[in-house]
Amino acid sequence: MKIFSFLKHHKLSFLIALVLLFAQANFELMLPQIMSDIVDVGISQGGIDSAVPDTIRADDLSDIELFLDTAETDRVEASFSEPDTRGVRTFTGDASARAELEDPMGEAEMLAYQFDQGVSLDRFIDASGASSASGASGEAQAAAREQMEAAMGDTVETSDIRWLVEAGLIGRDDLVASREALVDSLGDNADTVVRSRAIAYVERAYEDAGVDLTAVQSGYLWSQGLSMLGLALASALCAILAALNASRTSAAIGRDLRHQLYERVLDYSPAEMNRFSSASLITRATNDIQQIQMICVMCLRIVLFAPCMGIGAVVRVLATPTGMEWILVVAIAAIAIAIGVLMGVTMPKFRIMQKLVDRNNLLAREIITGIMPIRAFGRQEHEERRYDEANRELTSTYIFTNRCMALLMPIMLIVMNGTTVAIVWFGAQGVDTGGLQVGTLMAYINYVMQVIMSFMILTMISVMLPRAGVAAERVQEVLDTRTSISDPEPERRVTRERGEGWRGAVSFNDVTFSYPDADCPTLEHISFTAEPGRTTAIIGSTGCGKSTLVQLIPRLYDVTQGSVTLDGVDIRDIDLAELRRAIGYVPQKRMLFSGTIESNIKYGDESMSDADMERAAGIAQAAEFIEAKPEGYASRISQGGSNVSGGQNQRLSIARALAIRPKVLVFDDSFSALDYKTDADLRARIARECSDAAVVIVAQRIATIMHADEILVLDDGRIVGRGTHAELLRSCPEYLEIAKSQLSASELGLDGEDASAPGSLKEGGER
C-alpha cells in the first residue's frame, strides 16, 4: 500500500520500533510461563522446582543411588558435598550438572517414593526378576522367594531393597532395568508422573533434612513474583518508548506531508487548481493526512507488535504438546474468513466515502462563502435541502461501513470464547488423566488467546487501513501532479536582474491559447506590444478572454501557440520568481490576507522600507483612509479583507502591486469598485510616478481606458480593433457599442455626426 511508502524516510525509527516491540512481545510471552510455574511449582509442588535436591540426608541419597547405574552414581557423588555433622549433604554442582542429573535422579526418586509407600512382593519380583538373580535354578529361585517372604513379608520397602542388594538376591543392573521399564510403561504421561513423584520424594527428603518447607515455598513464590513484576515493568517501558517513537515519527510524517502538499499546491498553476477543487485540497491537507498520521502510529505501534506477539505465541503453543493445536487452526481460519468477507464488502464504500467528504466540504464552503446572495434571494431552504441530501448520503455510507466493521468485534469474541471453552474442555481431560498440569493448561490458554488477540488487533487495523489507503492515494495524487508552469532548464535560462535589468516591454506574438480539455481556443492570433511608459488597455464584452490574456503575462498559464516575450525574451526562458518580481499583477478577484495593512502592502517584499510602502499607498489613493485609522498602517485586516469596504480592499490590492516597483503593471479590471474621481486620480498618479513601467489595464468602463495610448478591443478571443479612443470610435463598431452604452454623445465628442457612420450615436447615445 502507498501508505507504507511514507515510512521509507524513517527507516531508523522503524528499526527502533521493531526492536522495542520485539522485546515487549518477548517479555509479555514470558509471563504465562511464570504464571504456570507459580501454579504448578509454587503451589502444587510447594516451591520445589527440581528433582535434584539442594540438601538431602546421606541415607536418603544412598536410597536414591540404589536405582542409578555406576556412571550416574559417580556423577551424583561428585555433585554433592561430604555429610556434615547432621549427616546432611549439599548439592555443589553447577547448572549444567543439575540439568544432567535431573532425569536419572527423578526416575530414581520415583522408585524410591514408590518403595517408601510399599510395593507388593509379587509385583516387585515380576518387575525386577529378583528370584532369578544370578541365573539360579528353579529350586534356588523358590528358596530365594521364601527367604524374601520370611525377611520382608508381603511388601517391599526401600530398606528391603538395600538388604536384597547386599544379600546378592538382586543385582543393581536389575534395579536400573526395572526403573527404565517402569518409565516406558507410563507412555505419554511419563514425564508428568515421574516429576510429580520425584518432587514428592524431594519434599519428604527436605523435611527429613530439617528444611523449612514453608520458607522454600515462600521464597519460590517471591522469586517468581518479582520476576513477573520485573518483566511487566520491562514490557511497560518498551511500550512507552515504542509509543513515544511512533508518535514522534507519525507527527514528523504528518508535518512533512503537509509541508510538501502546501509547497506543491503553491507551485500549481490555475490549470492544476481547477483539476483539484479547493474543498478537495483542504480535505486532503487535513482529513486525509490525519488518517495517514493515525495509521502510521498504528503501524509503528500495533501492526508491528501483533506479528511479534502472534508468532511468538504460536511458537510457544507448538512447543507445548497438548494435542489441541487443531483448535487454534480452526479459530484462525474462522477469523480469516470473517475479515476477508468484510473487507470485500467495505473496501468500495471507503473509496466512495472520501469523495462524499469532498462533496460535503465543497457544499459547506459554497454555502458559507455565498451566505449573502443565499439570504438575498431567500434560498436558505433550498441550500439546506441540498446540504442535507449530501450529508445524508455521507451519513448512510458511514453507518453502513461502521455496522459492517462492528460485526467484527462480536465475531472475534465468539471465536475467542469458543476457543477458550474448547481448550478447557479438552484440556480438563488431560489434567484428569495426569498428562497435563493445571498451570500448563492455563499458560496454553494464555498463549492461544495472545494468538487470537494478535489477529484481533490486525483486524482492527484492517478496518482503518482501507480508508487510510484511499487517503494516501489522494495525497500522493496531489504530490505526483506536476505543475504545467515550471522554471526553464538552467542551460536556456535568461536573467537580467544582476545586469542592466528589465525594461518592461511585453510582446504577444501570434498567441493562441486553449484551456485544458477545451473544445475551442479562448484566444486566437493575439499580437501586440506594451511598451514602457505607455498604457495599453483591453476592453471587450464579458467572456471574450480579457482576463485570460493578461494572466499569460505572469505565466499563470502558458500559451498554446505563439509566444509572450519580455524585452524580446520568451517568458518561458525566464526564472518564474524573477519574471514575477518584474510584474505587478492586480487580479480581478480582490484578496487581502489576515494581518495588518502594512503586512499586506509589503507582501511582495517583507524587507521593503516604510517610505516605499507609504509611496505605494499614496499612488493607490489609500493613504487617506489608512491614516484616518487610529493604528494607521498597523490596523488589523481580517481574513479576506472582510473588515474594509470593496473600494478600500481594491486600493490596498493596487498598493501591494505598486510597492514592489514593477517594470510591468497589470490591472485586471482593478478599478471597478472606485468612483470616477478616485479612478482618475489613481491613473494620473500612476502615469506620473510609474512612467518607466509598461501599464496594461483590463477594464469595462470606457472612462477608465479612454486616455490609454493604445486600446485593444477583444471579441470572442480575437482582436477586432486597436488604436486610440478616438480612432476606435470611428473604426470599430464593437468599441462604439460599448461606448454608447456608457457615455453620452457629447461625452464622446460625436454630436452632429451621421448616424450611419461607425461613430454615430443616433441610436441610444444617452445613458
pLDDT one-digit tens code per residue, 425-460: 888 877 776 667 777 788 888 888 888 888 777 777
Confidence of residue 152 (pLDDT cuts 50, 70, 90): low
From its phi and psi, is residue 42 left (phi > 0), alpha (psi between -120 and 50) or beta?
alpha
Q: Provide the pLDDT for residue 319.
A: 77
Contact criterion met (CB below 8 Å) for 564 and 527: no
Domains of the chain: 494-582+663-722 (3.40.50.300), 589-661 (3.40.50.300), 724-767 (no CATH)
pLDDT one-digit tens code per residue, 356-374: 887 888 888 888 878 888 8
Q: Provide the pLDDT for residue 311.
A: 86
Q: Provide the pLDDT for residue 761.
A: 39
Q: Provide the pLDDT for residue 167.
A: 67
In 514-663, beta strands by DSSP E = 523-530, 535-540, 561-566, 569-570, 583-586, 595-596, 636-637
- List, in order, residues 6 or more apart from 508 with CB less than 8 Å away: 526, 527, 528, 529, 549, 552, 562, 564
**Burial profile 475-502: b = 16 or more Cβ within 10 angstroms, e = fewer:** bbebeeeebebebeeeeeebeeeeeeeb
Q: φ, ψ for residue 321 (rounded to 5)? A: -70, 100
pLDDT one-digit tens code per residue, 11-45: 899 899 999 999 999 999 888 888 888 888 888 88
Task: Give the type of residue at 108.
Answer: A
Between the CA atoms of 165, 170, 174 and 178, what dihedral angle is there, to the nearest 10 degrees?
-90
| Separation of alpha carbons 156 and 117, rounded Å | 9
pLDDT one-digit tens code per residue, 303-340: 888 888 888 888 888 777 677 778 888 888 888 888 77
Q: Which of helix, strand or coil describes residue 642?
A: coil
Q: What is the mean pLDDT of residues 452-480?
A: 79
pLDDT one-digit tens code per residue, 629-677: 999 999 999 888 888 888 899 999 999 999 999 999 999 988 888 888 8
| Separation of alpha carbons 507 and 526, rounded Å | 10
| Separation of alpha carbons 74 and 186, rounded Å | 27
Burial class (CB in 10 A: 0-12, 13-18, 19+), 622: buried
Confidence of residue 135 (pLDDT cuts 50, 70, 90): very low
Q: Provide the pLDDT for residue 223.
A: 92
Q: Provide the pLDDT for residue 762.
A: 37
∠ CA 554-647-713, nearest 5°, is: 50
Q: Provide the pLDDT for residue 559.
A: 92
* Structural Rg of the chain based on CA atoms: 47
C-alpha cell at 215: 520458607
Confidence of residue 1 (pLDDT cuts 50, 70, 90): low
Q: Is the pTM of this model over 0.85?
A: no
Order across the sheet with 664-668: list the strands: 583-586, 664-668, 694-698, 535-540, 710-715, 718-723
Q: Which residue has the higher pLDDT, 195 or 549?
A: 549
